[in-house]
Structure 1
Amino acid sequence: MMTGFGMGFGFIWMILFWVLVIGGSIALLAAIFPKLATTHPNGTAVEDDALFILKKRYAQGELSKEEFETVRQDLEQA
């Protein structure tokens, strides 16, 4: 006589299936849209941060004009 337990541990396979589907979907979206991973929530690109920091340090007087121009040119060439 059946006791009503169904497939036993079959639910584990269903959970594993959905974890793989969701994980695969996330990996696929990350591969299709890699630019989203390189931007901050406010929409600025990661590359813009170095220039922002440079301008901030120059404004605070930590860098001379020559140092600022040299580093800015290096950043723009990279």
Structure 2
Amino acid sequence: MTMQWEGMAHDSWFWGWGILWMVMLTAFWLLILLVLVLAVRWLWQAGSRIQSIQRPEESAIEILKKRYARGEIGKEEFEAKKRDLL
């Protein structure tokens, strides 16, 4: 009474758990790939939203004009600093 291992292995692969495991493994890797793609897409969009929210920095001349408008500096000082900047 000898067992035929080749026949049993063949039957268990095609009619048993072998195909199920192949399908599950393929689905697992596809899910991992989908999660990675969605994460990269989300990070890319989040980065672009942050850049659009940030205000551009004011130039030195704009800051000087605002200080003059608020009365922090006088006309003579404004003109002198403006000449220095330009």
* Alignment TM-score, normalising by the size of structure 2: 0.40
Q: Which of the pair is proportionally richer in helix?
A: 2
Give the number of the structure whose alpha-carbon radius of gyration is greater: 2
* Alignment TM-score, normalising by the size of structure 1: 0.42
